[in-house]
Structure 1
Amino acid sequence: MKIGVMVESFRAGLAGGLQAAKELGADGVQLSVSGQATESELAEIKSQLDDSGLELAAVCADFGGHGFMVADENPARIERSKKAVDEALALGTNVVTTHIGVVPHDKSAPRYKVMAEACEQLARYARSAGAWFAIETGPEKGPLLRSFIDDIDIEQGLGVNFDPANLVMIVRDDIPSAVEALGPFIVHTHAKDGNNLRELDPEVTYGAVPCPEGAEQWSGFEEVPLGEGSVPWPEYLAALKRVGYDGYLTIEREVGDNPRADIELAVKFLKDLLAR
């Protein structure tokens, strides 16, 4: 497996993030795309990537809001996401990661069909281009997401961006079991750690339903440096190996006062684990 870093995690701009990732010994990076870039903007990003010598592991195409949970919003979001696939390929990767919203447990719920239809359209588009539209884990446990993907029934084009921290922070999932459930579809991973502090409702946390009055949407969990949280790293990496995953572990650090220091420790932490 290879070690990547989310460029935006450095909070130093594209050039600064690429330079920092290289200095810390990463093999590659992930960066965010807008689905609205001009050819000249893409050319400038590609030039900086090429100059860095780092591989582009994946791009992130999160556009905020409700993912693909709202039918009226989906036509525009789908077209923008298709453009993100085009941007990814122009920049040198065939993996696009995003949050899609919260998959309902009830398959008869209207939102289930709305989300499945959106993901099917994007999976077909990605497949036609030789790319992967990768759903990031978080709001649902591994078996539920696997069932959702199976219902869409696309042989290629629809994948998973496995983020173990989201699963332990939000739904208290068993990470090795989730890897086993999603293994055939994992095309990219995030290296992040965290803790769950109380039982959460993913529908509230991810904005599928309004936050109850007096409650805090983003409380009840915490992101922490790699190795300091609830992700069972040796067991997790062993599970990835069992399902045949040999791609990127891309460090994502969304909090903290000194992200570079945290990322430097994360690179060392992962290198030590991979060397065992």
Structure 2
Amino acid sequence: MSFTNKIGVIVDSFGVGVTEGLKKAKEVGADGVQIYAVSGEMDPAALSPAKRKELRSYIEGLGLEISALCGDLAGHGFQDETANPEKIEKSKRILDLAVELGTNVVTTHIGIVPDDTSSRIYDSMQRACEELGVYAKSMNAYFAIETGPERSAHLKSFLDSLSTNGVSVNFDPANMVMVTGDDPVEGVKLLKDYVVHTHVKDGKQLRPVDPRDVYGFLGYGAMSHEKIAEMAASGAAFEEVPLGEGTVDFPAYFAALQEIGYKGYLTIEREVGANPEEDIRKAVAFIKSYKGK
């Protein structure tokens, strides 16, 4: 299997801040980086035009590019219509920042898409995603929903209901096997028209789990990355593990991405583990071993 996709790393996975994380990404052999841009030093509100320019030239000076920004606002995604105006506004500012930094992808969680398409929550999510999709499309960019909270066939039907592909997919195979038990290979084929960014992560499900316990749901509980990482580390229902140690069939996953003509980044995410740098270094080597086949 010979493919030319570039390898990305989520800077925040190193846990050492943006500047040091960028250096480490270069050291482990990545071509690009994904960066959280929600709060702290990467909050769009905290980055003046001069700082944005400085950051972009620093990244380019390292010989890296940005594969995507992460604009995940946690909570209930876009399920709560009263919170949506503020979240939509913030998402747009993150997309503006992404484009200024040289990428056209912002990944996010929108909340679990309800089964009941006539429900108020479904309507709130649909209207929010329609507005964000139109905005992204006007800039030739994408808000990319991370896979995992619902099965891919249901996510596809939701995306098909929008007027543009400005809201697309950040494909994460581990989330699928850990939470819904969905098949990533079939998922890639189903969502082929929407995949604009991917994560390379591995995991296994230890017992069936209610997606609401992981990703939250309006009236049920909220989502936070800390909570997901804690669950993935505890191994109570599922476990995130180093690449090749879980149930993601990587030869078939990479082959499916090639089959649909995916040319974007393969971005490594490591949310748990005592030595993320070592795990990420091994993950880069793991992907490269397939690139040469």
1:52 counterpart residue number: 62
Equivalent pair of 1:2/1:27 in contact (CA under 8 Å): yes
Deviation string, structure 1 residues 193-242 (Cα, Å, up to 9, x no partner): 1111111111222110536xxxx983411110011111100000111111
Distance 1:176 1:194 in 2: 15
Distance 1:181 1:259 in 2: 32
Match status 1:180 vs 2:184: no
Match status 1:274 vs 2:274: no
Match status 1:36 vs 2:80: no
Distance 2:203 2:51 in 1: 35
1:97 counterpart residue number: 107
Distance 1:63 1:165 in 2: 21
Distance 1:153 1:179 in 2: 21
Q: Which runs of 4+ in 1 moved over 4 A?
A: none
- TM-score w.r.t. structure 1 length? 0.95
State, as a whole percentage, how many aligned pairs show the same letter.
51
2:212 counterpart residue number: 203
Give the deviation of 1:37 after TM superposition.
Answer: 3.3
Gaps of 5+ in 1: none
2:256 alignment partner AA? A
1:108 counterpart residue number: 118
Look up the SS of the partner of 1:93 in the other structure.
coil
Deviation string, structure 1 residues 56-99 (Cα, Å, up to 9, x no partner): 11110012211111110000000000000100011110111001
Equivalent in 249, 252, 269 of residue 252 of structure 1: 269
2:89 counterpart residue number: 79
Distance 2:90 2:51 in 1: 16
Distance 1:53 1:37 in 2: 25
Gaps of 5+ in 2: 39-43, 222-226
Equivalent in 13, 20, 25 of residue 16 of structure 1: 20
Equivalent in 149, 158, 161 of residue 151 of structure 1: 161
1:136 alignment partner AA? E
Give the deviation of 1:23 after TM superposition.
Answer: 1.3
CA RMSD across the alignment: 1.4
2:224 counterpart residue number: none
1:3 alignment partner AA? I
Equivalent pair of 1:137/1:167 in contact (CA under 8 Å): yes
Paired residue total: 271
Give the deviation of 1:38 after TM superposition.
Answer: 2.8
